[in-house]
Homo-oligomer: A and B are copies of this chain.
């Protein structure tokens, strides 16, 4: 935990937060702090700063934030479109997305997505949030990504996607078959980016064709075939390198 994330649920008074879960454990057992010590905190969807530990009582820790400042925006704005993976991988995608500054996550159906994945209890919002918070806490961000679950492929791209993108959106499609690397089609800048990550086994031709029609640009992410969670990390790392070039 590089940043202890505070939420409205923790508020017990004016600018006073009480922690009692894995955050309290981290402060007590890993950081080994006591009353009067200071920790780095971030307010969920808000600024970050430091907080003074006011009291520790039976694993309940009361902290008071000070010096709160907005965090720099994580540019460019990034939307992830991810074929719904198995639940174990969903957890990794949530954590990585929050850790590396994805703004909006859309899980979508694809031909090679198993229908049963949609029945996972993990997809309940309250079950996804801990992985997102863990990612924010690791990456030192406070902006909680939104997560939307879509049950059909074609309506997502034909009806919904146009409402969340425009002609300025850079649409990226990692594709092992192409020889063009990312720097040949993205040169940085603040225009928003949409990244489409396929299911295990890949998109089927109908799916790729539809995305190409919508101006998604295929690029070679790596000569190795990566898993969903690695493809996401690798794409974000390459975007960040080019953005800061």
Interface set of A (CB-CB < 8 Å, partner B): 2, 72, 74, 96, 99-101, 138-141, 181-183, 220-227, 230, 233-238, 240-242, 244-245
Contact = CB atoms under 8 A, between A and B. Distances in A.
Given A181-B245, A183-B241, A245-B181, A140 B99 contact: no
Copies in the complex: 2
B226 A139 contact: yes
Given A181-B244, A181-B245, A237 B222 contact: yes
A139 B237 contact: no
B245 A223 contact: no
A240 B226 contact: no
A225 B96 CA distance: 11
A100 to B, nearest CB: 5
Contacts of A183: 241, 245
Contacts of A99: 224-227, 230
